[in-house]
Structure 1
Amino acid sequence: MASCSLCRVLLLFLTLSDSFVQIFSAGIGINYGQIANNLPSPPRVAILLGSLNITRVKLYDTDPNVLLAFSNSNVDFIVGLGNDNLEDMSDLIKAQAWVEQHVQPHLPQTKITCILVGNEVFASNDTQLRSSLLPAMQSVYRVLVNLGLDKQVIVTTAHSLTILGNSYPPSAGTFREDLVQYLQPLINFHSQIKSPFLINAYPYFAYKDDPSQVPLEYVLFQPNQGMTDPSTNLHYDNMLYAQIDAVYSAIKAMGHTDIEVIVSETGWPSKGDADEAGATVENAELYHANLLQRIAQKEGTPAKPSTPIDIYVFALFNENLKPGPASERNYGLYYPDGTPVYNIGLQGNLAGTPLSAPLSASNKTAFSVFNFLMLFLISCFNLRICQREGRRGIS
């Protein structure tokens, strides 16, 4: 009787513990930045992401420690080729050497499915860098074709929304005139190789720059009046979808309707400087929780209702060495010790348990209670077996 009662207690304990292990499987991607000196090791990060059921990760480089840690996992990787390498990549020999050194050795154990050639190149005024982007993408693609990898690894790049010359209303979205000479052949190339157009979209920036004119509810996916595009009569209840459709319109103005737009970065900081309006834990939690709910519903934008939005959240961890305002160091869903910055349902097996530090006092207590109950249950079970076997005359 006592052991049965104990079983019920233990079952209750395990049930309550399991409530903290909420597996999120809506299909989001996550940006895994590493501009910090206090992050957990890649193997521990692999465990965390596995517990969260996140199967898409974007890196900003080809860190071999990370790629090795995720070998034989079900995680798809976007890996980055930095802007400082773009000029060299126009040389096919150098591009092949880069792919053979940084990508090919990890295949197929680690599922690298995309190479991000450069990041926000057109945010720079460097004309040489701008001119190097397309040749670099073309060289890397040719190398993948030559190596027989082009069917499993795609080539693209990511853009800041500053490439838009007009974004309102969404149907009138166009690229900046000074960038058309670069973007037209780039978009033609995307269409040719059937690769997506990636954008880094942050409604937070719009709110921070003009909080008196941009409704907070509109950028946080909260109930609001929204806006109606006068040309299409499509209604928008959040800014992110309007930004995505503005990019679709700009691509259409370039003569293409066959290119998918993917949000390679979006997020909201949980902390900022005094002049960074809206950078709070509460707003960050609302933005991400509401966004994840939209993703889980597999809904599309008003202009592309049958195409579910495809998003990589920025970022996995707070990164303490990032330069700039305080917000730059506070975009993470997790602190470096593995505890969540706020609760949006992304709580896995390691949530609340430090990834690179000793257990806290509360966690030690929880583990001690759990271990005690387990040992006590095993002891009672063994005792009952001994008693039963003794009654049967077994020695």
Structure 2
Amino acid sequence: MKVVLTKPKKPATAIQESNKKLHWALGDLPILSSTLFLITAKTFPRCRFSGAFFFLIEESMAVLILLFLLAASVVVADEDAFIGVNIGTDLSDMPHPTQVVALLKAQQIRHIRLYDADRAMLLALANTGIQVMISVPNEQLLGIGQSNSTAANWVSHNVVAHYPVTNITAISVGSEVLTTIPNAATVLVNALKFIHSALVASNLDRQIKVSTPLSSSIILDSFPPSQAFFNRSWNPVLVPMLNFLQSTVTESGWPSKGDANEPDATLENANTYNSNLIRHVLNKTGTPKHPGIAVSTYIYELYNEDTKAGPVSEKNWGLFDANGSPIYILHLTGSGLVLANDTTNQTYCAVKNGADPKMVQAALDWACGAGKVDCTPLSQGQSCYEPDNVLAHATYAFDSYYHQMGKAPGTCDFKGVAAITTTDPSHGTCIFPGSVGKNGSLMVVLLESIAAFIQSFENVLGGA
């Protein structure tokens, strides 16, 4: 399902039309108390839901529903709305887990979703308190769905071995199983039950939810949302799931760059969408029919994934590049949270006045080598080559490393030759990591399929 923005004759016209859709669709949303699921969009906006919480999220260009399995006796208490992020790994130079965690801590991100259960990442997240959703990859689904012992072994190695030192709060079982590996559909419910049973056996079922994302292609007649319903051929799988589910939402975002035929994938639109989304969540705005509902959101995603297949937009959903530099500035004034560097409290790392040039050169060599800083902009003919001297080049490398490490304490020292500054060292076309220079214009976009998903769930439950 793709959100198509009306080609504007005037920018204001497109904004007005989008606002009408937003008001109508959100105003028509029923809040389910017996279903837990996620929604993610395949074009630009992405969204999710949970019981009393409304989350917006993204995950490639296909709408997903995340079904969270909970024991019927479990009571989910209301909680404050939060902002989290999804972390993909399709990067040519994926940061080390400790660097990822440093960035999360520096940006005060307390909720994340992983697409696997990588041991190194879970170890790096230990003792941070960050709430983590891990995933069972599709290639492991058949084994788990056919064997209770295999599921128990998976939970033992990937959950029990890390919990509670690593704060795992949910498990996503497979991804878009019904449409990507339909032969595994018959074992999906069993896989959910077996994973849940393993959690029960470990006395973790009250702390950790179980879920599965589904593709939007299982919805028929998604517009208008009030008439949406699931393809009934999937009822043998969907109905058993919905019998013991509650609801949640986990992804939403907008790409900052796209192909020539994706004109709406821009920095400004990404900035505006995510900034407005976060403001909506943190203000507990809710929907027109259900004001004040806490709507927690996982933004898709932390990093741009440059090796991800598909159009340019698929590689550009991230808030940061692999070096930890923000792709654009999110405006979160008053939220107490910064998902990208804002103009306030901005800091940089520069060569300290009077530093020994030989020590500066040694530190520069280390940063561009073992420090894994991308020093390509310092090459002749590139944007930061001039002025061609060790002090200027070292300042660029030091600042890149500082931001790459999430501005963590001790990352701007370099054996005493560097110091933190509030002065932006950018000059001319040489823009330093974290430099503020982009702003967004107002625009509101809605994924109509949010309401379609909810209506589809009600239709399935009503006809079950």
Report TM bin, short chain: 0.5 to 0.7
The match for 2:278 among 288, 292, 302 is 292
Check if 1:98 corresponds to 2:154. yes
Write the mapping of 1:214-233 to structure 2, written as runs, cut at 5 A: none
Q: Does 345-354 or 161-170 show the bigger shift? A: 345-354
The code of the aligned residue for 1:336 comes to: A
1:119 partner SS: coil
The whole-number CA distance in structure 2 between the counterparts of 1:347 and 1:272 is 21
- 5+ long unaligned stretches in structure 2: 1-79, 332-338, 350-366, 375-392, 403-411, 423-464
Task: Decide whether the 8 Å contact of 2:328 with 2:340 is kept in 1.
Answer: no
Shift of residue 364, structure 1, vs aligned partner: 4.4
1:261 and 2:248 correspond: yes
Spell out, residue by residue over 1:80-102, the C-alpha distance to the aligned partner (whole angstroms, 9 max, x if none): 00111111112101111111112
> Which residue of structure 2 aligns with residue 361 of structure 1?
395
Assess, with a 3 A threshold, how the Cα gap between structure 1 residues 176 and 311 changes in structure 2: closer, same or farther.
Answer: farther
- Larger relative contact order, structure 1 or 2 (CA cutoff 8 Å, min sep 6): 2
Letter in 2 for 1:274: A
1:120 aligns with 2:176: yes
Amino acid aligned to 1:177? R
Change beyond 3 A, Cα 1:371–1:113: closer
TM-score under structure 2 length normalisation: 0.55
Moved more, 98-107 or 357-366: 357-366
1: CA distance, partners of 2:394 / 2:166? 33
Once the two structures are TM-superposed, the CA of residue 56 in structure 1 deviates from its matched residue by 0.4
Shift of 1:128: 1.7
* Mapped partners of 2:239, 2:325: distance in 1: 44
Q: 1:356 to 1:285 in 2, by over 3 A?
A: farther
Helix, strand or coil at the partner of 2:172? strand
Change (3 A) 1:180 1:302: farther
Give the partner amino acid of 1:357: V
Aligned to 1:206: none
Matches within 5 A, 1:140-159: 140-159=195-214
For residues 195-242 of structure 1, give each alpha carbon's deviation from its aligned partner in whole angstroms, at most 9, with x where no partner exists: xxxxxxxxxxxxxxxxxxxxxxxxxxxxxxxxxxxxxxxxxxxxxxxx
Counterpart CA distance in 2 for 1:28 and 1:284 is 16
Alpha carbons 2:114, 2:133 under 8 Å: kept: yes
Larger Cα-atom Rg: 1
Distance 1:140 1:350 in 2: 44
CA 352–33 in structure 1, closer or farther in 2 if over 3 Å, else same: farther
Deviations 1:101-139 (A, max 9, x none): 121111110000111101122332x43222221110000
CA RMSD of aligned residues (A): 2.8
Asked whether the 8 Å contact 2:347–2:420 carries over to 1, the reply is no
Displacement of 1:41 in angstroms is 1.2
- Letter in structure 1 aligned against 2:310: G
Equivalent pair of 1:83/1:129 in contact (CA under 8 Å): no
Instruction: Give the gaps of 5 or more residues in structure 1.
Output: 1-24, 191-258, 374-395
Equivalence map 1:1-395=2 (5 Å):
27-90=82-145, 91-124=147-180, 126-190=181-245, 259-262=246-249, 264-345=250-331, 346-347=339-340, 356-357=372-373, 361-362=395-396, 364=398, 370=419
Structure 1 residues 99 and 55, CA gap change in structure 2 (3 angstroms): same
Corresponding residue SS for 1:78? strand
Aligned CA distance change for structure 1 residues 160 and 306 (closer, same or farther; 3 Å): farther
Residue 156 of structure 1 deviates from its aligned partner by: 1.1
Decide whether the 8 Å contact of 1:266 with 1:311 is kept in 2.
yes
State the distance in 2 between where 1:128 and 1:40 align: 35
CA contact (8 A) 2:319 2:340 kept: no
The Cα of 1:168 is off from its aligned counterpart by 3.0
- % same residue: 34
Contact 2:348/2:421, CA 8 A, preserved across alignment: no
Gap change, CA 1:364 and 1:80, over 3 Å in 2? closer
**Alignment partners' CA distance in 2, 1:319 and 1:153:** 28
Q: Distance in 2 between matches of 1:360 and 1:162?
A: 51
- d(CA) in 2 for partners of 1:351 and 1:33? 27
Alpha-carbon distance in 1 for matches of 2:161, 2:418: 45
Distance 1:360 1:54, change over 3 A: farther
In 2, Cα distance between equivalents of 1:169 and 1:48: 41
Kept after mapping to 1: 8 A contact 2:135/2:171: yes
The Cα shift of 1:317 comes to: 0.2
Deviation, 1:360, is 6.2
Query: Which one-letter code corresponds to 1:140 in the other structure?
Result: I
Deviation string for 1:366-387 (max 9, x for gaps)? Answer: 96684699xxxxxxxxxxxxxx
State the 1:277 CA deviation: 3.3
The Cα shift of 1:150 comes to 0.8
Alpha-carbon distance between aligned partners in 2 of 1:28 and 1:340, rounded to the nearest angstrom: 17
